[in-house]
Amino acid sequence: MPRRRPTERDLDEIRGGFTLIEILLAIALMGLLAAVLVTGSVNLLSDKPATPEATFWKAVQQSRATALTAEHDVRLSYEAKEQAFVLNDGVTPLSLPVPPMRELTVDFLAAQAGQSSVLIGGELVDTKTVPAVTFYPDGTCSAFRVQFRSGGAARVLVIDPWTCAQVLPRGDNTP
């Protein structure tokens, strides 16, 4: 039986492997995936808080840590002109700027809502503010609330004086 000469189709079946376009496509896909992962990890690992509340919690943590390590009181206040939280340990004030937001107001309020509330535009807003809150060397802080307003409704966080953490709101089904 005479042997026939192999055709182009026969050679394609024998060769196998990837074409140049498939290899380039795989490399481009890996590069795109690497770029997404690098930018995502940079944003995830960045130390810059994205919201005023995140900046507030960072300021609370630093104030408490400074009071514990320096063993003296630390005062935390908010400077509206600079839009920054200021930690004052009596030696060197430290400023933590808040990300720029239009019409942002941050107020420290007394621990208990009292007769200083006013109804403004259908929103109950506390008007009696406290200039600063104090963090003590034993890890506690003065009892206070913090109110954030940015054009819309006010968000009030109640801070526990023993742990310096947010007091969780009672739910409707809580006894």
The share of the chain scoring above pLDDT 90, in percent, equals: 37
Domain with residue 97: its CATH number is 3.55.40
Burial class (CB in 10 A: 0-12, 13-18, 19+), 37: exposed
Domain that holds residue 67: 52-159
User: Nearest-CA neighbor of 67 among 94, 46, 43, 41?
Assistant: 94
Would residue 3 count as lying in a domain? Answer: no
H/E element, 133: strand 132-135
Decide if pLDDT at 46 tops 90: no
| Distance of alpha carbon 135 from alpha carbon 175, whole angstroms | 32
Q: Is the pLDDT of residue 170 over 80?
A: no
Mean pLDDT across 139-144: 91
For residue 120, is pLDDT > 70? no
Query: In the predicted model, what is the mean pLDDT of the chain?
Result: 83
pLDDT band at 137 (very low <50, low <70, confident <90, very high): very high
On whether residue 152 sits in a domain, the answer given is yes
Q: Is residue 41 part of a domain?
A: no
Structural domains counted in the chain: 1
Query: Is the pLDDT score of 101 beyond 60?
Result: yes
130 found inside a domain: yes
Amino acid 87: pLDDT: 94
In a domain, 169, yes or no: no
Give pTM, 2 decimals: 0.66
pLDDT at 11: 62
* Residue that wins the pLDDT comparison between 15 and 38: 38
pLDDT on residue 130: 87
pLDDT value at position 78?
Answer: 93
Query: Does 40 fall in a domain?
Result: no
Condensed to tens digits (0 to 9), the pLDDT of residues 48-72 reads 657 889 999 999 999 999 999 999 9
pLDDT beyond 60 at 173: no
Q: Is residue 23 part of a domain?
A: no
Within-domain flag for 129? yes
C-alpha atoms less than 13 angstroms from C-alpha of 159 in its C-beta half-sphere: 24
The predicted model gives 89-118 an average pLDDT of: 82
Distance CA 46, CA 18 (A): 40
Q: Token pair 């802080």 is at which residue?
A: 141
